[in-house]
């Protein structure tokens, strides 16, 4: 929604005498699809441009559709515990589990074919 454009529409095309209170006009022109369409039909494409361009300028954007894709939140945690040891300072112990996946391999000796007597 372009607030300056909406203000210009209101003041240059009739003001309060034609549209009533500014707040009511803004509410209608930014939220009411039928009002937007009727307004555009009354003032015409020559004055307001195409209906698509006009709608993009005046209609409030739906905040849920503005995101191109859902945003993922990544949370990382660390389990670090501080342990006090007499005579040793600034020691911390980290409890970390590391998982690895390995494919088992079996070493087999190469088998040579031996031609035998039949």
- What is the per-residue pLDDT across 21-67, written as a single tens digit (0 to 9) for each? 999 989 999 999 999 999 899 988 988 899 999 898 898 876 544 44
- Residue 10 above 60 pLDDT? yes
Count Cβ atoms within 10 A of the Cβ of residue 91 and give its class: 0-12 exposed, 13-18 middle, 19 or more buried: exposed
Mean pLDDT of the chain: 74
Question: Would you say 59 and 35 are in contact if contact means Cβ atoms under 8 Å apart?
Answer: no
Q: What is the pTM of this model?
A: 0.50
52 vs 36: CA distance, rounded Å? 11
- Residue 112 above 50 pLDDT? yes
Question: Would you say 11 and 30 are in contact if contact means Cβ atoms under 8 Å apart?
Answer: no
User: CA torsion, points 15, 16, 21, 22, in degrees to nearest 10?
Assistant: 20
């Amino acid at each position: 929604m372009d607030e300056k454009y909406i203000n210009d529409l209101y003041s240059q095309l009739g003001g309060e005498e034609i549209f009533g209170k500014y707040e009511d006009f803004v509410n209608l022109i930014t939220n009411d699809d039928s009002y937007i369409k009727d307004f555009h039909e009354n003032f015409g494409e020559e004055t307001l441009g195409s209906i698509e361009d006009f709608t993009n300028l005046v209609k409030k954007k739906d905040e849920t559709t503005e995101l191109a894709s859902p945003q993922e939140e990544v949370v990382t945690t660390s389990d670090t515990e501080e342990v006090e040891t007499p005579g040793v300072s600034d020691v911390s112990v980290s409890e970390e589990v590391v998982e690895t996946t390995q494919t088992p391999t079996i070493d087999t000796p190469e088998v040579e074919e031996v031609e035998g007597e039949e």
